[in-house]
Structure 1
Amino acid sequence: MDLDLTDEQRAFAEAVADFCKRESGTRLRRDELTDGGRHAHHQGLYQKLADLGWLEVALGECMVDTCLFLEHTGYGMAPIGGFATSAIVAGAIQRFGSEMQRATVLRGITDGRTYSIAMSEPEAGSDVAALACRARPTTSGFVINGQKTWCSNAHFADAILLVARTGGGPGDHDGLTMLLVPADTPGLRISGIDTMGGREVNDLYFTDCAVPADAVVGTIGQGWRQLMAGLNLERLILAALMLGTARRAFDDALAYVRERRQFGRPVGSFQALRHRIADLATEIECCRLLVYRTAALVDRDPSRVLPRESSMVKLKTTEVAREVALAGMQMMGGYGYATEYDMERHVRAALVSTVYGGTSEIQRDIIGKTFGL
C-alpha cells in the first residue's frame, strides 16, 4: 500500500491477511465456521486472534492500526463480528469508564471477550433524543424497564453498554445515561431477529432489571454528549470494515470477468465491463485514502471530534461498498446471485452498512450542517 505506514504496520497488515487466508480462506472453511453463513462470529477463531495479542487494536490507541486490522479481516471474510461492537464499547469505557470498568472491560476485550451496545428502540433510531427505555434510580442503583432493538452481537456478548433514560422525557438529549449491563443480568431477555444476514441483531427486553450504581459509565445524564465523543471511532470502524468488503467484492468480480468467456473472449475485455472495473477501482482508492487520512487525523489529536470527516468516511465507504457488491453481482450474472459464490454475501453485508451506525441520509445531513446549512 502506498500509504504512510511504518514497516511494523505493513508487517502487521500482512500477518493479519495471512492469518485470514490460513484460517478462513476457503468457502468450505467459512461455511464450517459460520454454519453456512448463519452466524457472523466464531469464538474459537476470535480467541486465536486474542492469543496473538492482536485484539489490543480494539482499544484504539492507534486508529491506523485498528483500521488495518478491520480492513484485512473484512477482506479475508473472517467471522469475527463481535470485534466491531467491542471496539466501540472499548472507546466509551476508555474515555468515560471508572478504573474498575477499564480494568475489567479492556482486559476482557484483549482476552477475547465480546461486548455490545444497545441504543436503538422501536420508536427511536436516528432520533436518539426519542429514547424511552428508562433506568429508574433506586437506593442501590437502577432498575431498567423498556425495549432496545437492532442490538448487534448481544446474543454472545459478555456485557452490553446500554443507553437509557435516567431523567427527562422523550425528545430530551439531556437525561440519557450509559450503563454497563452484564448479559446474564436477571430481568434482561435477549431475542434474536431473523435477517438476510443471519443471526446478527437482537431485541432486548428489560423487565425490572436491577443494576448497581457502579454500572454507570461516565456521568449520569450525560450519555448524549458521551455518544457524540465516540463518533470518530464508531464511523471509522464501520468504514474500515466496509473498505475490506469493497476490496474483496472487487477482486472476486475481477477474477470472474477475467476468466468468464462469452463470444470467444473474456467478458472483462468488453468495454462496458472494462470501464465499470476502472470506475470501481477508482472509487475504492478514494475510500482507502479517506479512511486512512481520517484515522491519521484521529491519531494526531484523539480528543478532537471530527463530525465532517467521520461522517464523510462512513458515507463514502459504505455507499461504495454497496455499489461494488451490486456491480459485482451484475457482472457475474446468475452466478453472482447464487449462494455457491461469495458475491451474494458481499451484497448482504454491504447493503446493511448504509443503514447501521447512522444511515447515509443522516451522514449527509451532518455533513451539510458542518457547512452552516
Structure 2
Amino acid sequence: MNFQHTEDRRMLADTLNRFVSEQYAFATRDRIASSAQGFSSDLWNRFAELGVIGALFDEADGGLGGGGFDIAVVFESLGRALVVEPFLDTLIVGRAIALSGNDAQKATLGALIDGSRIVALAHGEPDSHYELSRVTMRAQRSGDMWQLNGAKAVVQHGEHASHFLVSARTAGADDAQEGITLFLVPRDAKGVGVRGYRKIDGGRAAEVTFDNVTLGDDALLGAAGVGFATLEYAIGCGVLALCAEALGAMDVAKDHTLDYLRTRKQFGVPIGSFQALQHRMADLLLEIEQARSAVINAAAALGAERRVRERALSAAKYSIGRIGARVAEECIQLHGGIGMTWELPLAHYAKRLVMIDHQLGDEDHHLERFVALGAA
C-alpha cells in the first residue's frame, strides 16, 4: 500500500502549515481561546477560503477531498497550532448529513464548507460514559410531529451553532443500537436551552437542554430508529481527526523539548548531552512514530467495511491516548518546573493532549471496544 500523500495533499499541508505558522501564533491562539466567543469568525472564514473545510468533504458533496488521509492532513496541521475553530463538529455533522441527509439537507453542506454556517454535535449525555449507543434523551411522536425532551453535555461551540445534530431515542432500551434517531434541530427552536462555559483546554462548549421541542419530519436525518450506523461512521471520522490533531501537537511538544535540551545548560554543558535524558527522548521519539503509524492505519481504513474501520479507529484512539499522555508528562518533566508555567506554550500542548484522550472515548474505552470488535 502506498502511504505517500498525493500532490494535492502535500500542497494542502504546506499551505495550511504556512498559514497557521504565520497567522496563528501562540499569543493569537491564546487570545482567541480565552475570548467570549471561543473562536475567531475572521480566521474561520479565512480557513474556508483556503479550502481547508472543503478538504474534509467529498467532491460529490461540494468538497475537495473527503478521504481519510485528507482528514488526517488537515487535523495534523491544526493540532500543530492548537486551532480552536469548529472544525471537528463541522466534520462530524457534515459527514452525517452527506451520508444520510435528504436533498434539502445535503444542500446545506455548501454553507458548512464556505464557513457561513456553524453546526454542533449534541450526542453525549452526562451518564453516557463514552458508550455510543447509550441515549436516554427521548423523541416521541405527537400527531404528525416529534417532541424532544432531554439534555446533552459538552456540546462544542454550542452557543454559536445555528443547528444541532441531536441523537434521541424513539424505541428500545437506553443502551440499544436500535431505536436511535437523528434530528437536525435549529438553535432558535422553541424549548432549546443553551448554557455556555469555557473549556479547560481553550475554546467554549455548552450544556444544551430540550424541553418539549416540537419538530416535523423534515428535521429527521435519515429514517427513524436507524441512526446508529450514521452516528458511528460520522463520529469515527471525528476519532480519526482527533488522533491526527494529537499527532500534530505531539510533534510540536517534541520539537520544543528538543530545543530546550539543546539550549538549557547545567554544569556548563547542554542538558541534552546527558545520556539519561537522551535515552528518555529517544524512547519518546519511538512512541510518537508508533502513534503516527496508528493514524496512518486508521486513515487508510476509513473507507473499509465497518468492523475493519472501527477496529482501526479504536486502535488509533487507544494508542493516541496512551502515547499522548506520556508525551505530555515526559516533555513537562524534561523541561522541569518551567514546563508547568502558563506562559510557556508547552503546558497548553500537554493539556490539549490529555483532553484529546477524553474526547469521543478514552484509551480504556477504545481498548475494550477494540477487543470486543475482534471477538464479534
Q: TM-score by structure 1 length?
A: 0.92
Deviations 1:229-273 (A, max 9, x none): 335412211111111111111111111111111121111211122
From 32, 48, 61, the equivalent of 1:50 is 48
Cα deviation digits, residues 317-339 of structure 1 (max 9, x gap):
23212211221111111111101
Q: Partner of 2:113 in structure 1?
A: 110
Assess if the C-alpha contact under 8 Å between 2:84 and 2:202 holds in 1. no
Counterpart residue number, 2:8: 8
Q: Read off the aligned partner of 2:30 and give its amino acid letter.
A: D
Range moving further from structure 2, 116-125 or 126-135:
126-135
Aligned counterparts of 2:307 and 2:9: Cα–Cα separation in 1: 24
AA partner of residue 118 (structure 1): A
Deviating more after overlay: 11-20 vs 113-122:
113-122
Corresponding residue for residue 262 of structure 1: 266
Does the residue aligned with 2:209 lie in a helix, a strand or coil? strand
Residue in structure 1 matching 2:323, options 291, 305, 320 = 320
Cα displacement (A) at 1:160: 0.9
1:180-201 CA distances to partner (integer Å, 9 max, x unpaired)?
1122222111112454224433
Give me the identity figure in percent: 28
CA shift in 2, pair 1:279/1:40, >3 Å: farther
1:272 aligned to 251, 268, 276, which one? 276
* Contact 2:132/2:232, CA 8 A, preserved across alignment: no
Match of 1:344 among 339, 342, 347: 347
Alignment counterpart, residue 74 of structure 1, candidates 58, 76, 79: 79
Separation in 2 of the partners of 1:332 and 1:190? 40
Whole-angstrom distance in 2 between the partners of 1:55 and 1:29: 21
2:71–2:240 contact (8 Å) kept in structure 1: no
Residue in structure 1 matched with residue 183 of structure 2 by the alignment: 179
SS of residue in 2 equivalent to 1:217: coil
| Most deviating of 358-367 and 57-66 | 57-66
Does the C-alpha gap of structure 1 residues 66 and 199 become closer, same or farther in structure 2, counting only changes over 3 Å?
closer
Distance apart, 1:141 and its partner CA: 2.5
* Structure 2 portions without partners, runs of 5+: 59-65
The whole-number CA distance in structure 1 between the counterparts of 2:83 and 2:101 is: 30
Given candidates 189, 195, 209, the residue that maps to 1:191 is: 195
Q: Secondary structure at the match of 1:89?
A: helix
User: Are the structure 2 counterparts of residues 161 and 243 from structure 1 closer, same or farther at C-alpha, using a change threshold of 3 Å?
Assistant: same
Aligned residue type for 2:365: I
Letter in 2 for 1:7: E
Residue 17 of structure 1 pairs with residue 17 of structure 2: yes
Corresponding residue for residue 63 of structure 2: none
Per the alignment, do residues 13 and 145 of structure 1 end up closer, same or farther by CA in structure 2, a change over 3 Å counting?
Answer: same
| Matches of 2:371 and 2:308, distance apart in 1 | 16
Q: Which moved more, 1:253-262 or 1:127-136?
A: 127-136
- The answer to whether residue 189 in structure 2 is matched with residue 214 in structure 1 is no
1:160 paired to 2:164: yes
Aligned to 1:282: 286
Give the letter aligned to residue 18 of structure 1: R
Count of residue pairs brought into register by the alignment = 367
CA RMSD of aligned residues (A): 2.1
Contact 2:34 2:202 (C-alpha < 8 Å) held by counterparts: no
Aligned partners of 1:330 and 1:118: how far apart in 2?
37
In 2 relative to 1, CA 79–129 (structure 1 residues): closer, same or farther, beyond 3 Å? Answer: closer
Question: Where does structure 1 lack aligned partners over 5 or more consecutive residues?
Answer: none
